[in-house]
Amino acid sequence: MTKILELKDLNVSFKIEEELFKAVNNVSFALEKGQVLGIVGESGCGKSVTAMSILKLLASNAIIESGEILFNGQNLLEFSNKEMQHLRGSKIALIPQDPLTSLNPLYTIGDQIIETIKHHRKVETKEARELAIKALQDVKIPEAESRINEYPHHFSGGMSQRVLIAMALCCNPEVIIADEPTTALDVTVQAQILDLIKELQKERNTSLIFITHDLGVIAEFCDYVAVMYAGQIVEYADVKELFNNPLHPYTKGLFESLPTPNKEELKVIKGQPPSITEDIPGCTFHPRCPFKMENCDKEEPPKIDKENGHYVSCYLY
């Protein structure tokens, strides 16, 4: 299949008090048409920075030092701001995690969706309004014809997230990045939103990058999984392969920390994830790793292909 999006050795750093601190370290992966890639890891591991690099929406002190981000064969790092403004929303769209901070409280949700449609599709206001109503209907917002005139504060958290999904899908993008889109919602609403995203993704055969810290969501939702730790992808595999045969000690630790009906006591990964300002030699997981060996703190382990595209960066293999 054709690769629609590909990251090659992406390196992103943040400038803090004249020093550079690496947040994303040699990240590489590919996404094909209609495929769902899950990126999983603890908070601060570089998941969102990787996603925002694709859209070039990083903080002002962030620097993409090297690598390539190829969208349909074109390197997005060479795109101008104007070219990226055209691409965002029309070709690659974002579903952010917090609807309360993502929607403008001073404008109706209709105004906000219509603005997106008119910017990318060059249609008149009347047609844009009809398309906006259709987008709200697609995400199962009842009485869309009247609710399009309401403001964000009239919507619950779950309904607000549906509005953001409608905004992401209204221009039929080829790739959607969902950055922990259910974090701010309660469990019942989370399930509804996840089912909705899954249904629309399959219906439109859209490629999707799903960022989460929830392995249960990964199992239900994704085709492939990239496990991130301290800015690096430490393991990458087909979702069934990863769940049946996790290899990296960090991945194993994540699975062992999951609650199950017969588990009397939850295991935890000892220690804390490193800060971006910490310089850890060798494997970045070695301070917390129960399988640490002599060379783990001296040199970064290579990426090893075990079989069938199951990659792991660990000296155990």
Q: Which residues of 150-183 are buried (b: 16+ CB within 10 A; e: fewer)?
A: ebbeebebbbbbbbbbbbbbbbebbbbbbbbbbe
How far apart are the C-alpha atoms of 212 and 227, rounded to whole Å?
Answer: 10
How far apart are the C-alpha atoms of 167 and 164, rounded to whole Å?
Answer: 5
Q: Does residue 1 carry a pLDDT above 70?
A: no
pLDDT at 76: 97
pLDDT at 264: 73
Residue 255: CB atoms within 10 A of its CB come to 13
Q: pLDDT exceeding 90 applies to what percent of the chain?
A: 78
pLDDT tens track for 230-278: 999 999 999 999 999 999 999 999 998 888 777 777 788 998 999 999 8
Give the chain's radius of gyration (CA, Å).
21
Q: How far is CA 305 from CA 190, 283, 302, 313, in A?
A: 35, 17, 10, 9
Q: How far is CA 70 from CA 5, 26, 56, 75, in A?
A: 6, 15, 13, 4
pLDDT tens track for 286-310: 999 999 998 899 999 999 998 889 9
Tokens of 38: 């899950």
pLDDT at 268: 87
How far apart are the C-alpha atoms of 47 and 49, rounded to whole Å?
Answer: 6
Q: Does residue 177 carry a pLDDT above 90?
A: yes
Burial tier of 126 (Cβ tally within 10 Å: 0-12, 13-18, 19+)? exposed
pLDDT at 260: 77
Domains (range + CATH), the chain: 3-313 (3.40.50.300)
